Structure 1
Amino acid sequence: MTATAAPPREAARPARTSVVRTELRRGVGPWAGAAVAVTLLVTMYGKAPAWQGRWTDATDMLHVASGLLAGPLALAAGCWQGGRERRRGMLELLRSVPRGRLRRTLLAVAPSALWPAAGQFVAATVCLLATWPYVGGGRPYVELVAADTVALAALGTLGHLVGLLVPWRLTAPLLAVVGYVGLAIGTYTGSPAQWLSPATEHSSPWEAPVWWFAPASAVWTGGLALAALLAYAARPARLRLLALLPLAAAVAAAVPVLRLPANGPWRPDPETTRLVCDEGTPKVCVNALDRALLPDISRALAPLNERLRGLPGAPVRWVGGSRGPGAGEIGLPDHTMDAVRGRLRNPDLYLNSAVQWLFSDICSSADHTGPRAERVAEIHLAVSEWLAATPEDYGVPVGPAAQRHLDALRAKSPAAQRDYLARYMAADRCRPEEVPVP
């Protein structure tokens, strides 16, 4: 009698894989993942000039968009999926399948958890790849992106469980509204608890998160979702005590977050605040984070530096970024609104702004009134326009008195212009009688 060969052990593995694949294709899961990806990509594309030049700006905006926009969407999609199974009697059908309740629930929840997370991961990958060609320094905080992915999976899981418990069709949109309001309110509490929200905004490009913040955030959101899942699905009842383990982990992760100082988990990053300078005179220095902008800024300031070079009272160097100017230094104008993808959009306007910073210590006529003070203001305007003319569509036309001073300056020889600029910079502009007339 010939013995029948037993089937190989590995034969069960493809069957399990096929079951998971089938579950992932069911319901609104794939549509939810696509909706999350499209929502994030459209939102990020509309604000690309604000984030595409720095890793910190890209990851910060991704974090806020993932929390405030994709988070409620994941809640609603998961709730609709769970309610749909309850309304269609899928739970009774699944009970006839020889699987444990926890395993059945895990398979049912998989589309609600994994598809929104996959959509967020795809959108984040596209945005970080779109940022990479334009950044000058720093690094992408991929650990924060991963924590956001876990948060979306957790929100999808919680939404699914709410749908199973409350299968009313309007539960999903109502849950999305409640989730959006809750996430928004949690973001602006002003207390350390705001950092437990997966949508809290951070706006300083010169700081980096402490190493443990992203793992703690992932354990916080993931632990809450897993605890709720075990509390719902674990059978027999005594196994529900297992839900206390992820709940305890979530609470333990929240404790150090709640003890954070006012600026949360962010600390100054020495690498991004390190100064990078050109070889000009005066030197132009920016933070290492913005080193890609240094050639454009140097070219924009070159005409002004040519006039200042070697003059008494001229700055030793221009300094930009998080570090304030020291002795003999002048602060650079903020380039945040004028820089896109590592380039200056309007070098002429930037040069004009630099001249205003150069003479920012001029006394205003509000403090020193009278004909002499007005004359100082007119001379200041003429000198500023001579050094860097205001681009069209910016500022106001030069008045007749300032125009006369400007014409007189332009009529001088280069040597006389340099001599006048030296006398003007050496004068105490708070003493009108000391300011020379062109």
Structure 2
Amino acid sequence: MTATLTPPGTEERTPARPPSPLRTELRRGLGPWTGAAVAVTVLVTMYGKAPEWQGRWADVTNLLHVAAGLLGGPLALAAGCWQGGRDRRRGTNDLWESVPRSPLRRLLVAVAPSALWPAAGVLFADAVCALATWPYVSAGRPFLELLAADAMAVAALGALGHLAGRTVRWRLAAPLLGIVGYVVLGLAAYRQGPSRWLGPAGEHQFFWDRPVWWYGPAAMAWAAGLALAAVLAYGLRSARLRPLALVPLAVAIGAATLILRLPPDEGPWRPDPALSRQVCDTGTPQVCLTAVDEDLLPDVSAALAPLNARLKGVPGAPVRWVSGPGGPAGPGDVALPDARQDAVRDRLARPALYLNSAVSWLFSDTCRPGDGTGPNAERASLVNLAVIEWLAPTTDDYGPATTGAQPYIDRLNAKSPAEQRDYLTRYLAANTCRPDEVPIP
């Protein structure tokens, strides 16, 4: 037997395993740039509207939903279309046809960057905004199922754009597809009826609601089913296997049928008793906010304290200031403006301005057509402005000009406390829709 001697300093090495084609595709090309562009686009949009969402899970979810669908979706479409036409532009289609892998497997590897990177960009933006919201929410939870559905919708749009790029032999197809996608998604988002909840950018406004449990999975099935059906129909060359594309298509149609049966106005959203319950302070009059804004209650109470001190004991004054889905529920209840609109990071940014808004709501009667007219209409309007400015003066940089109302403001300030209370009693008892009934200071 002859022994094989290995020269000193050398070792037998196992041949290196070739890199995975999927990993190579994900690391190269337009995919990483698309993910970064989607994330930056969504984050820049959210940053500009931070005071509107940084305090409620429903608000941050809603704005992320609109930003991801209306901006990230068209961007994924255009980038996927450009990525899909890459091999045709390089002239490597014949080379790929010679590879022993099946056409469907090659297609799935090629589509992966167009679908996964935009979805990753959306999820990254979701995570950043959720972390920015977490310290300032009073109640509730993030709607993770809806955020996952948004990422799936953007991934599906990227995959469909990739197939369009493989099919359409035109360099301008990518930007035009992005523009068309933006228009179509925008029109679908703002149309009436349950069909708008099929799109990835349907907007919802009420912050004390929660989605029904099945809407997120159904939306994911709808988007993923359409994209997978298109990929299978394109990638399966065998006529015997091509009917397999009908399976995800049937799943998508079933999910769409469930969504289309939602109520036209409310859609998948239902009131959440834990978020819409009233939380009140111990003052007189009481200040009541919904539980979702409980952390703002001390600031709102402090902002209304000067007004409450003047109204305390005055006949016709509010018994409770109420904000929430039910609105004023009993006699003496007066609606409050939405405190979150004037809040920044769970604090009232401008308490004086919020107080002025609350007084305006207090003296705003719902007038019928034809009311508020007559020879004394202008005078009544000036008196109303004077009472509001007297109780809660607006800051110098905001609010209407009070030149015409200034004489009435001066008269009110010149009265004694007893005379002021007497005038407030008469003013609260008057119907401001009838100018002749408005008392003059």
TM-score range, shorter chain: 0.7 to 0.9
Equivalent runs, 1:139-158 vs 2, <5 Å:
139-158=141-160
2:135 paired with 1:133: yes
CA distance in 2, matches of 1:217, 1:362: 40
Distance 1:424 1:380, change over 3 A: farther
Measure, in 1, the Cα distance between the counterparts of 2:383 and 2:154.
60
Q: After superposition, what is the alpha-carbon deviation per residue over 1:111-156, rounded to whole angstroms, capped at 9, x for unaligned?
A: 1111111111111111111111222222221111100111111111
Map 1:192-271 → 2, pairs under 5 A: 192-263=194-265, 264-271=267-274
- Farther-moved stretch of structure 1 (346-355 vs 244-253): 346-355
Pick aligned residue for 1:289 from 283, 286, 292: 292
- How far is 1:15 from its partner? 4.9
1:338 to 338, 342, 347: 342
Quickly say closer, same or farther: Cα 1:32–1:437, change in 2 above 3 A: closer
SS in structure 1 at match of 2:279: strand
1:319 equivalent in structure 2: 322
1:329 aligns with 2:353: no
Q: Distance in 2 between matches of 1:174 and 1:383?
A: 56
Tell me if the contact between 2:386 and 2:402 (Cα under 8 Å) persists in the aligned partners. Answer: no
Q: What is the alpha-carbon distance in structure 2 between the residues aligned to residue 195 and residue 383 of structure 1?
A: 45
User: Residue in 1 aligned with 2:389?
Assistant: 385
Secondary structure of the residue aligned to 1:286 is strand
Q: Displacement of 1:224 after TM fit?
A: 0.7
Q: Which amino acid aligns with 2:245?
A: A
Match of 2:401 among 396, 399, 408: 396
TM-score, with length taken from structure 2: 0.87
Q: Distance in 1 between matches of 2:385 and 2:192?
A: 43
Alpha-carbon shift at residue 65 of structure 1 (Å): 1.2
Pair 1:408-2:414 in alignment: yes
Q: Is the 8 A contact 1:54 1:131 kept in 2?
A: yes
Cα distance in 2, alignment partners of residues 213 and 342 from structure 1: 30
1:178-227 deviation line (CA, Å, top 9, x unaligned): 21222122223323222111122222223222111111111111001111
Aligned to 1:4: none
Is residue 313–residue 426 contact of structure 1 (8 Å, CA) maintained in 2?
A: yes
Question: What SS does the aligned partner of 2:241 have?
Answer: helix
Q: Deviations over 1:37-96 (max 9, x none)?
A: 111111111122222222111111111111111111111111111101222233332333
Equivalent residues in 2 for 1:73-88, closer than 5 Å: 73-88=75-90
Whether 1:347 aligns to 2:351 is yes
Partner of 2:188: 186
* Letter of the structure 2 residue corresponding to residue 276 of structure 1: V
3-state SS of paired residue (2:152): helix
Distance in 2, Cα, partners of 1:338 & 1:37: 28
SS at match of 1:237: coil
User: In the alignment, does 2:171 pair up with 1:166?
Assistant: no
- d(CA) in 2 for partners of 1:422, 1:255: 57
The number of residue pairs the alignment matches comes to 424
**In structure 2, how many angstroms separate the alpha carbons of the residues matched to 1:112 and 1:435?**
66
Aligned partners of 1:286 and 1:319 also within 8 Å: yes
- Counterpart of 1:299, as a letter, is A
* Separation (CA, whole Å) in 2 of partners of 1:33 and 1:377: 55
What is the distance in 2 between the residues matched to 1:311 and 1:345?
A: 29
Asked whether the 8 Å contact 2:374–2:435 carries over to 1, the reply is no
- Measured against aligned partners, the alpha-carbon deviations of 1:264-289 in whole angstroms (never above 9, x if no partner) come to 22222222211111111111001111
Question: In structure 2, how many angstroms separate the alpha carbons of the residues matched to 1:109 and 1:283?
Answer: 59
Alpha-carbon RMSD: 2.9
The answer (yes or no) to whether the contact 1:80–1:163 under 8 Å persists in 2 is yes
Corresponding residue for residue 360 of structure 1: 364
1:269 is aligned with what amino acid?
D
Between 273-282 and 260-269, report the one with greater CA deviation.
Answer: 260-269
Could you list the runs of 5+ residues in structure 1 that have no partner in the other structure? 2-10
The gaps in structure 2 that reach 5 residues or longer are 2-13
Instruction: Report the residue type matching 1:279 in the other structure.
Output: T
The 8 Å contact of residues 87 and 167 in structure 1, kept in 2 or not, is answered as no
In structure 1, how many angstroms separate the alpha carbons of the residues matched to 2:361 and 2:162?
Answer: 56
- Given that 1:378 and 1:401 are in contact with CA atoms closer than 8 Å, whether structure 2 keeps it comes out as no
C-alpha distance in structure 2 between counterparts of 1:281 and 1:71, whole Å: 51
Q: In the TM superposition, what is the alpha-carbon distance from 1:425 to its structure 2 partner?
A: 5.8
Contact 1:75/1:160 (8 A) holds in 2: yes
Would you say the 8 A contact 2:30–2:83 is kept in 1?
A: yes
Q: Which amino acid is the alignment partner of residue 296 of structure 1?
A: D
2:357 and 2:122 map into 1 onto residues whose CA distance is 40
Q: Distance in 1 between matches of 2:435 and 2:170?
A: 77
Q: Report how far residue 336 of structure 1 moved.
A: 5.0
3-state secondary structure, aligned to 2:203: coil
Q: Which one-letter code corresponds to 1:397 in the other structure?
A: T
Counterparts of 1:285 and 1:45, CA distance in 2: 30
Paired AA for residue 297 in structure 1: V
Kept in 2: contact 1:208–1:266 (CA 8 A)? yes
Paired residue secondary structure (2:122): helix
The equivalent of 2:5 in structure 1 is none
1:199, 1:435 → 2: CA distance?
A: 47
1:267 match: secondary structure: strand
CA distance in 2 between partners of 1:347 and 1:247 (Å): 54
Identity %: 61
Task: Give secondary structure in 2 for the equivalent of 1:318.
Answer: strand
Provide the C-alpha distance between the structure 2 equivalents of 1:368 and 1:88, rounded to a whole number of angstroms.
Answer: 74
CA 1:185–1:354 in structure 2 vs 1: closer, same or farther (change >3 Å)? closer
Which segment drifts farther, 332-341 or 146-155?
Answer: 332-341
Contact 1:427–1:435 (CA under 8 A) maintained in structure 2: no
Q: How big is each residue's C-alpha offset from its partner over 1:324-371, in whole Å with a ceiling of 9 and x where there is no partner?
A: 212111111233542233222211122122223333349999647567
Q: Is the 8 A contact 1:276 1:286 kept in 2?
A: yes
